Amino acid sequence: MAELKERTFIAIKPDGVQRGIIGEIIKRFEMKGFKLVGMKMLQASEDLLMQHYIDLKDRPFFPTLINYMSSGPVVAMVWEGKGVVKTGRVMLGETNPAESKPGTIRGDFCIDVSKNIIHGSDSVESANKEISFLTGLPQT
């Protein structure tokens, strides 16, 4: 029964919000059979983003990433369902949209790795951390 309650964190990044594709992304997760259990639009501060992306702080693209993610509102969502972490990652497509297959969110809606419109947790553990940290919702 616990696997039916698996949760993941999905965030529509500033470019996805600005382009008005929030509804399309939500529709895809709903059509797949997942349940939206939390959603919040927020303007992420640089401090919050620096904490969230701390593991990338030494990468050359870090300042650009922080600037991009703080450039506009983000839609933070919590989705629930069987295998939602793994399936959600498949639905998103590859980090680099040029390597994403048609039918995936990135494959259908973006072309640039630096503006790849969406984030999804890569494990149940990171989902729990991201849900708690970025939405204020309790961990499961």
Query: Mean pLDDT across the stretch 113-133?
Result: 91
- The answer, yes or no, to whether residue 138 has pLDDT greater than 70, is no
- Band (pLDDT 50/70/90 cuts) for residue 5 is confident
Q: Are 32 and 83 in contact (CB under 8 A)?
A: no
Q: What is the pLDDT of residue 81?
A: 97
Q: What average pLDDT is seen over the chain? A: 91
What pLDDT, on a 0 to 100 scale, did the predictor assign at position 53? 87
- pTM for the model: 0.89
Structural domains in the chain plus CATH codes: 2-135 (3.30.70.141)
pLDDT at residue 88 tops 70: yes
The answer to whether residue 52 is catalytic is no
Annotated binding site for ATP: 13, 61, 89, 95, 106, 116
Instruction: Tell me what the mean pLDDT of segment 5-18 comes to.
Output: 96
Selecting among 16, 119, 127, 131, the annotated active-site residue is 119
- By C-alpha distance, which of 101, 135, 107, 102 is closest to 121? 135
What band does 132 get if pLDDT is binned at 50, 70 and 90? confident
Q: Which of 9-13, 50-54, 74-78, 98-102 has the lowest mean pLDDT?
A: 50-54
Q: How far is Cα 29 from Cα 57, in angstroms, rounded to an integer?
A: 31
Q: Which residues sit in the known binding site?
A: 13, 61, 89, 95, 106, 116
Residue 77, pLDDT score: 96
Predicted pLDDT of residue 127 = 93
